[in-house]
Amino acid sequence: MTAQTIHQGQWSVIRQILSQTVFQFVGVGVLAILTCAGVSAETRSAPATAKGIFAARGASESRFFQRLQQQRTRAEAYMLNNVSRPECLPGCVVASPSKSNPNYFFHWTRDSALTMLTVLDLFDRSTDPREQTQYLQILKDYVLFSRKTQVTPGPVGGPGEVRFNVDGTADYSSWARPQNDGPALRTIALAKLAKILVGRGESDFVRIHMYAPQMPAYTVMKTDLEYISHRWQEPSYDAWEELHGQHFFHRLMQRRALLDGAQIAELMEDLGAAGFYRFQAAAIEPEINQHYNENKGYIVATLFPSGGIQYKSLHLDSVVILGALAADRGDGFYSMTDARLQATALELIKVFRAMYPINQNSEGIAIGRYPEDRYDGIHSDGFGNPWFLITQGFSEYFYRMAKKYQTDGRIEINLVNLKFFEWLGLTQASPRTIEETSPEFAEMLQKIVAKGDAFMAKTLRHMNQTDGSMSEQFSRETGVMQGANDLTWSYASFLGAYLHRPE
């Protein structure tokens, strides 16, 4: 099948989904209003055993769940609508269809990799072989388009280049370059894809287009891995494209990319390189740990700022939580139950709860990038706002935290995360271990999931109430959407949270 026929197939699926959901929405609208008040913790307060922890959910839960399910379908359709659009090359992911105020009609290395991570999650959960083939085609197109952008000449050129026109040529506008999280995120997504393809007997595609051991590198993964392993010490611009320095987010991503990449190097019999990538990954770890500041009580997003905006002083930034979500490889390094992350999340929640009027008297807290933020979605001389992708990222973080505790079978409370547990409503707060046999265990896990739901309820309330579309931000004062419309990453992050919600 040619890319074009798949492409048309993809479009007809999207159209079908959209027409169905607009139709369905009329009935759900009434429920939406009822549910807007948020899902309260009381629906979960029934005691439960460790196994059935998340089963005891009441009537308001089922209404909330209906809304989530409806939005899941729409979010997927909207997200895929921005992938391989007719006016773009196959595999290109526009950050948003918006071409002015702001112009986001570009393929960003970061946004597209995060989108593909969500496509991989969808693939994992799909049981329909036809659908799986469609997801794989999107991913393969992304591989080929990525390689095209990687060799295209540009202001910095190569893996650190930030964003591309939809025909794969470089963007020459004045921008914050390089941004070294991009190639790391792409490697994480592609390593996952490579394993899937090898498992399906498609090693040839991997060897030809993704990872060939030969140097100089001529495949996308090998090129990224060489770049990351030789340059992770160098400062670059942060994920918000504003500040030059050493970033927790980038380093966490680089570590995972090198470890995941080493596995693919081994599969492709590039053993020397695999050893080198692992060695570099280990060297990054102590640098990552430098970011936790005991006196401040949170993980400092950027160390050694060396250019860009001057008004960021706390370096308390939601990007830390988003980083942990994408960089968690299940090996315990900055896992979802890491006390330093919990302390950081709590500081962010407190700061945004106090700062944004729409968070007053609301159970769900809308979260923005960082307290000093001035980017209003178009200009950088205004006030920052809450973002869909961040609020939903917090939701995913709480969902995955609950699941990790469930797997671990115990909750460790120490001096670093004590305040976090107090905020969750732990009675008798003191450093100790809560074992799964204690009734408190299930209760805490239910509280964590209820927090996750409250973040989701907040974004459901501020998205377009007729069609479920989501832009980048919503006003801190009025809750009305602003910034780039139909931001691909907003939908990808909704799905990320939805797909990780404990059942």
**What are the residue numbers of the active site?**
238, 241
111 makes contact with ligand NOJ (CB under 6 A): yes
240 makes contact with ligand NOJ (CB under 6 A): yes
Give every CB contact of residue 347 below 8 A, 6+ residues apart in sequence.
297, 298, 316
Q: 348 near 323, Cβ under 8 Å?
A: no
What is the closest distance, in whole angstroms, from the C-beta atom of residue 488 to ligand NOJ in the complex?
Answer: 7
What is the closest distance, in whole angstroms, from the C-beta atom of residue 369 to ligand NOJ in the complex?
Answer: 7
455 makes contact with ligand NOJ (CB under 6 A): no
How many amino acids of this chain bind ligand NOJ (CB under 6 A)? Answer: 12
What is the closest distance, in whole angstroms, from the C-beta atom of residue 117 to ligand NOJ in the complex?
Answer: 14
**Burial degree of 437 (CB within 10 A; 0-12, 13-18, 19+):** exposed
Q: Tell which one of 7, 67, 74, 110 touches ligand NOJ (CB under 6 A).
A: 110
DSSP string, 141-180: HHHHHHHHHHHS--SS-STT--EE-TTSPBP-SS-----T
Q: Tokens at residue 232, please?
A: 């992770």
Residue nearest to ligand NOJ (CB): 375
Q: Which of residues 321-380 bind ligand NOJ (CB under 6 A)?
A: 375, 380
242 makes contact with ligand NOJ (CB under 6 A): yes
What is the closest distance, in whole angstroms, from the C-beta atom of residue 111 to ligand NOJ in the complex?
Answer: 5
Q: Which of residues 470-489 bind ligand NOJ (CB under 6 A)?
A: 489
Among residues 362, 325, 329, 318, which one has the least CA distance to residue 460? Answer: 362
Q: Tell which one of 241, 266, 412, 440 touches ligand NOJ (CB under 6 A).
A: 241
* Calpha distance 180→324 (Å, rounded): 16
171 makes contact with ligand NOJ (CB under 6 A): no
Q: Tokens at residue 178, please?
A: 């390089």
**Which is nearer to ligand NOJ, 222 or 250 (by Cβ)?**
250
Q: Which of residues 88-107 bind ligand NOJ (CB under 6 A)?
A: 95, 104
What is the closest distance, in whole angstroms, from the C-beta atom of residue 43 to ligand NOJ in the complex?
Answer: 35
* Calpha distance 250→303 (Å, rounded): 12
Alpha helices in 360-431 (DSSP H): 388-408, 418-424
Q: Tell which one of 32, 75, 239, 349 touches ligand NOJ (CB under 6 A).
A: 239
**Which is nearer to ligand NOJ, 84 or 179 (by Cβ)?**
179
Which whole-number Å values give the CA distances from 461 to 39, 468, 472, 489, in the listed order?
12, 10, 14, 18
* Calpha distance 326→397 (Å, rounded): 10
DSSP reduced 3-state for 84: coil
**Which is nearer to ligand NOJ, 145 or 240 (by Cβ)?**
240
Q: 197 near 121, Cβ under 8 Å?
A: no
Hunting for tokens 């592609």 — which residue is that?
190
What is the closest distance, in whole angstroms, from the C-beta atom of residue 199 to ligand NOJ in the complex?
Answer: 31
Q: Which stretch binds ligand NOJ (CB under 6 A): 1-9, 235-243, 340-348, 437-445?
A: 235-243
**Cα angle vertex 424, ends 421, 430, to 5°?**
30
Q: Which stretch binds ligand NOJ (CB under 6 A): 64-72, 79-87, 210-218, 234-242?
A: 234-242
Give me the residues that bind ligand NOJ (CB under 6 A), please: 95, 104, 108, 110-111, 239-242, 375, 380, 489
